Chains A and B, each alone.
Chain A
Amino acid sequence: GAVVSQHPSWVICKSGTSVKIECRSLDFQATTMFWYRQFPKQSLMLMATSNEGSKATYEQGVEKDKFLINHASLTLSTLTVTSAHPEDSSFYICSASGTYNSPLHFGNGTRLTVT
């Protein structure tokens, strides 16, 4: 089945630094990937839609200059949390679909802790 790989699985960084998270579709091409954020005991909140070769589409309330998304190829999307603050600590999960009629598959997620 379709596999989505996310790296790193966890990261601890200091306040003010930037962190990059990678999302790869391993056995299929994904023109679209989605980035979600999940706080403890809460639901998955869609942050943005990553489109290969074009600008990402951000959901209302998500700062595009803080959460930089790059989808440079059909198998890789990256999310960079810039100038991270403790309130950005969360579980970030990407997802991708290979074709029009295939369900979304999720990466393993990245647990970000900002100290």
Chain B
Amino acid sequence: GIQVEQSPPDLILQEGANSTLRCNFSDSVNNLQWFHQNPWGQLINLFYIPSGTKQNGRLSATTVATERYSLLYISSSQTTDSGVYFCAVERVNSGYALNFGKGTSLLVTP
């Protein structure tokens, strides 16, 4: 199956700092999504971004499909950004299952 590697595995930031999370994948994809899992376990969809760049408030994401990676930018981080960020991909011609990475655990301190 497709390999999804996320880095860094853990990240601690002070409130107000910026960060970049990376997702590398091993095969061509036609679907890539970023999720945030909050400390209560709820998974929230952040971006549907198989290619290109999108922005939503303090968050933005870029996927370079030809080079098999995606980046999630968090600017001016807040304590509510804490949680685990997952990248999930759907390999071309493999059905519609999204395969998740192991996530980046982010802690934003006051």
- The answer on A and B forming one complex is no
Query: Which B residues contact A (CB, under 8 angstroms)?
Result: none
